[in-house]
Structure 1
Amino acid sequence: MKIVKFETYNLLPRWLFLKITTDEGVCGWGEPVIEGKSTVVEEAVHTLGKMIIGEDPMNIEHLWQLMYRGSFYRGGAIICSAISGIEQALWDIKGKVYGMPVWQMLGGKCRDRIRMYAHITPVENPSVEELCKAAKEKVAQGYTALKTPIHVPLRHIDTMKTVETYVNKFAALREAVGKDIDIAIDFHGRVSPAMAPIFCRELEKYYPMFVEEPVLPENVDCMARIARSTTIPIATGERLFTPWAFRQVLEKQAANVLQPDLSHCGGILSTFKIAAMAANYYVNIAPHNPLGPIALASCLQIDTCIPNFTAQENIRLEDGSDLGKNLFKRAFEIKDGYIDVPTAPGLGFEVNEDAIKDYIYDGSWSCPVYYHEDDHSVADW
């Protein structure tokens, strides 16, 4: 069997699908994308694709090494995201050839269903009432884990009022859903090393599930200092690429939960390796996924077969397309806050290729940019 063709599709709202075709007619799908840089990743996919056209798609690790190490410059968000989506598609092909889901080839299942956590951000910087209403709706749907972001923009050293405003909002949220529901907080790297310990100190009594990216992830020592300053579990990893980048986080005990993104970190097998590394440090995995249904499908394979799994992120769009509605012949279904372990071969879905035509766009989605009101300086998103 040989790889003969690469095809990419930019799909609304901000996704990039990849289809790899073999000379035996078996096709695999992946989702290589960087939010706001879709067309750049698309070009990288086709550049890397030229390296492995004609190769056997079954040799996944060899092809990964070839794409990653086959040039002088390695790593980074763009290259690793392109490799990730290609690698997902190769696993999809392999699973279809052998007639089994990817999780079965990685050792079998560790659970029968996969716990999901839901975003509760109905609007940017929601009011207390809007936030609590959204949370109660998700709980009514059966979710036992939620996530909400801290509001923006924030100053390097911000006011007491800013801290109190957010803490009071989270306190109201905790009151609204009770003590049986886990609530994670995404600091999104928006909070400075000066302010993160202050926010964490004030939030501790409301028992967050974890604080995600309390500071920017580039400085692991800084994150480790934040982790030592609070009893709240720290999560990070969506902006880290390859198992090598996670090594320092684990060695310096900078996080209790790792969040590799399977469309950025190197793909399915890289995440499997990261999970194995993390298990040695009693650290769990909660894969990052604000993307589309192929990224979700890849996450579900890993969620099924690793023992140290916490919960799976999913954005849950109103039209259900993030679960594959319309795009897949059979969409994933969330029941009482869980998805059953997928049993179909490969990544567990069949793409409705006629339907994806209705979602195609030019790939021009870009991340929002925030500014401080008083001086119009750029704030972290």
Structure 2
Amino acid sequence: MKITRLTTYAVPPRWLFLKIETDDGSVGWGEPIVEGRAATVAAAVDELSDALIGRDPRRIEDLWQLMYRGGFYRGGEVLMSAIAGVDQALWDLTARYHGVSVAELAGGPVRDRIRVYSHVGGGSTDELTASARAAVAGGFRAIKLTGTEAVGYVDSRATIDAAVARIAAVREAVGPSVDIAVDFHGRVHKPMARVLLRELEPCRLMFVEEPVLSENLDAVRDQLAGSAIPIALGERLFSRWDFKSVLASGTVDIIQPDPSHSGGITETRKIAAMAEAYDVALALHCPLGPIALAVCLQLDGICHNAVIQEQSLGIQYNTENDLLDYLVDPSVFGYTDGWVDIPRGPGLGIELDEAMITERAAVGHRWRNPLWRLEDGSVAEW
């Protein structure tokens, strides 16, 4: 069996799908993407194809090493996302070839299902609390919301009070039994992070995500270690080597690698195993498409420290198409009382609607994240 073709499809709302084909008709799918840089990642996949065409797709580990170590420059979000999508497709193809799921090919699942959480949002506090109530009414027992808008290095008390009031209103709206995660999105700098973490303790949060950018973690190590709120981060880390110092610091309680950025199934599984050795939980990052979610669920099935799964159904980015639109059978992601089963079908456990993919790829997308500025005109973290 030899790889003959790699084809990428940029499809709305902001995703990139990859199809790998072989000379015997086998097919595998992956989702390599850096949000806002789809064309860049597609170019990286095309460059990797020079080293992949003609090789046996079942040699997954060897091909991962070839893609990672075969070039002088390595790492970073673009290359690791390109490798991720190829790796996902190789696992999908190989598992299908053997007639088993990825989890079964990897040694068998350690769980049958995993909790999922819903994103909630709204421009006003009333809209936010209504969105939170709707998610709970829909069966979700855990939700996540963005904690702040743009925040300066040292911001006003009014900014802090407004953020805390919104989150407290959501807690009041959903009651004490619903888990709430708050995403700072790396928008908060050291002077404000310690203040916000302290002020949010009464809200009894499941975790705070990216309280600071990962590169600033050392600056707030003591504050994070002393926080009563579990700390989560990792969506902007891309390899074992990126996570090594984070785990060794002892300040992070939950890691959030994204298998569409962090080298695919092969590398993310190793990252999860490293975290398990530090007694750190796994909550895979996934505000992406159906292939990415299927990958995450297969990993959730084989990683003992996986605790909850992000998913993008109804997320604010999904304006033209949503999570289920590209699936032949959307019921594979059927959420029941805040849980989803680990898919048991062959490969990643999903069947993609290739006609829909081709149709929507003709439309494509050019998604870009917002660009924010502070009151003084300087660029703010988004």
Q: When the two structures are superposed, what TM-score results if normalisation uses the length of structure 2?
A: 0.96
Deviations 1:149-184 (A, max 9, x none): 122111100111111111111111111111111100
Q: Secondary structure of the equivalent of 2:235?
A: coil
Separation in 2, partners of 1:63, 1:161: 53
SS in 1 for 2:275: helix
The residue type equivalent to 1:307 in the other structure is H
Query: Shift of residue 225 of structure 1?
Result: 3.1
* Equivalent residue number for residue 240 of structure 1: 237
User: Which of 161, 186, 189 is equivalent to 1:189?
Assistant: 186
Distance in 2 (alpha carbons) for counterparts of 1:278 and 1:159: 37
CA offset at residue 335 of structure 1?
2.1
In the alignment, the residues of structure 1 paired with residue 62 and residue 284 of structure 2 have an alpha-carbon distance, to the nearest angstrom, of 24
Could you list the per-position Cα deviations for residues 263-287 of structure 1 after superposition, in whole angstroms to 9, with x for gaps in the alignment?
0000112111111111111111000
- Give the corresponding residue for 2:380: 379
- Percent identical across equivalent pairs? 48
Higher deviation after alignment, 313-322 or 216-225? 313-322
2: CA distance between counterparts of 1:287 and 1:172? 27
Q: Is residue 109–residue 302 contact of structure 2 (8 Å, CA) maintained in 1?
A: yes
**2:167 pairs with 1:170:** yes
Q: How does 1:323-334 map to 2 (within 5 A)?
A: 323-325=323-325, 327-331=326-330, 332-334=333-335
Match of 1:304 among 296, 301, 305: 301
Residue range with higher mean Cα deviation, 218-227 or 136-145: 218-227
Q: 1:320–1:104: structure 2 CA closer, same or farther, 3 Å change rule?
A: farther
Partner of residue 250, structure 1: 247
Task: Give, in whole Å, the separation in 2 of the partners of 1:188 and 1:298.
Answer: 23
Map 1:16-31 onto structure 2 (within 5 A).
16-31=16-31
SS at match of 2:42: helix
* Cα drift, residue 324 of structure 1: 3.0
**C-alpha spacing 1:146/1:187, structure 2 compared with 1 (3 Å):** same
Match of 2:154 among 153, 157, 165: 157
Q: What corresponds to 1:339 in structure 2?
A: 340
Matched residue, 1:199: 196
Distance in 2 (alpha carbons) for counterparts of 1:246 and 1:72:
21
Report the 3-state secondary structure (helix = DSSP H, G, I; strand = E; otherwise coil) of the residue aligned with 2:215. coil
Deviation at 1:347, TM superposition (A): 0.6
Cα distance change on mapping 1:369 and 1:320 into 2, 3 Å:
closer
How far apart, CA to CA, are the structure 1 residues paired with 2:247 and 2:150?
30
Unaligned runs of 5+ in 2: none
The AA in structure 1 aligned to 2:163 is Y
2:351 paired with 1:350: yes
SS in structure 2 at match of 1:135: helix
Work out the CA distance in 1 between the residues paired with 2:319 and 2:379: 33
**1:369 corresponds to:** 371
In the TM superposition, 1:70-219 aligns within 5 A as: 70-121=70-121, 123=122, 126-219=123-216
Asked whether the equivalents of residues 184 and 211 of structure 1 are also in contact (C-alpha less than 8 Å), the reply is yes
For residues 154 and 358 of structure 1, the distance between their equivalents in structure 2, rounded to whole angstroms, comes to: 41
Moved more, 262-271 or 316-325: 316-325
Letter in 1 for 2:232: A
Structure 1 letter corresponding to 2:293? L
Q: Work out whether residues 257 and 286 of structure 1, in 8 Å CA contact, stay in contact via their aligned partners in 2.
A: yes
Matches within 5 A, 1:279-318: 279-317=276-314
Alpha-carbon deviation of 1:219? 3.2
Q: Which residue of 1 aligns with 2:10?
A: 10
Unpaired runs of 5+ residues, structure 1, are none
Q: Distance in 2 between matches of 1:320 and 1:297?
A: 21
Equivalent in the alignment of 1:65: 65
Give the aligned partner of residue 224 of structure 1: 221
Contact 1:32–1:83 (8 Å) recurs in 2: yes
Which segment drifts farther, 80-89 or 159-168? 159-168
More divergent stretch after superposition (356-365 vs 79-88): 356-365
- The answer as to whether partners of 2:13 and 2:319 remain within 8 angstroms in 1 is no
Q: Distance in 1 between matches of 2:337 and 2:88?
A: 28
In 2, Cα distance between equivalents of 1:190 and 1:77: 19
CA contact (8 A) 2:13 2:320 kept: no
Instruction: Please state how far the C-alpha of 1:111 moved relative to its aligned partner.
Output: 1.7
Structure 1 stretch displaced more, 203-212 or 215-224: 215-224
Shift of 1:11: 0.2
Question: Using the alignment, how far apart are the partners of 1:4 and 1:223 within structure 2?
Answer: 49
Contact kept in structure 2, 1:60 and 1:91, CA below 8 Å: yes
Q: Retained in 2: the 8 A contact 1:214–1:226?
A: no
Amino acid at match of 1:184: A
